[in-house]
Structure 1
Amino acid sequence: METSHVSALQLKHAGLERQIQDELNRPLPDLAMIQQLKRRKLRIKEELAHI
């Protein structure tokens, strides 16, 4: 697997983590959005684990 693909996945993973933290820091976090972001982050993590 290309390292650029791994880097892209890692950047996406970090971006999702940042979005989750931003949402959690809001006065009224959107829990449904947080769940969706966490699922996307998990899929990226699983993909990275298979590389």
Structure 2
Amino acid sequence: MENSHISALSAKHAGLEARIKAETSRPMPDAILVASLKKQKLRLKEEMSGRH
């Protein structure tokens, strides 16, 4: 896979991680939002590793 594509995926992955941390640190985190963000993060991780 092209390095720039992997870099872009890594940046999105890091952004999702930051959003998850921000949401879970709130007094009443939105569990549905957190689950959705985690699924997106997993998809990106799978794409980075070459599995679709």
Query: Partners of 1:2 and 1:13 in 2: how far apart?
Result: 17
Gaps of at least 5 residues in structure 1 are: none
Give the paired residue count. Answer: 51
Please give the root-mean-square deviation of Cα atoms over the aligned residues, in Å: 1.1
TM-score, with normalisation over the residues of structure 2? 0.94
Question: Secondary structure of 1:50's partner?
Answer: coil
Q: What amino acid sits opposite 2:26 in the alignment? A: R
Structure 1 residue aligned with 2:13 = 13
Percent identity, aligned pairs only?
Answer: 53
TM-score, with normalisation over the residues of structure 1? 0.95
Q: Which has the higher helix share?
A: 1
Runs of 4+ in 1 over 2 A off after TM superposition: none
Query: Partners of 1:32 and 1:2 in 2: how far apart?
Result: 33
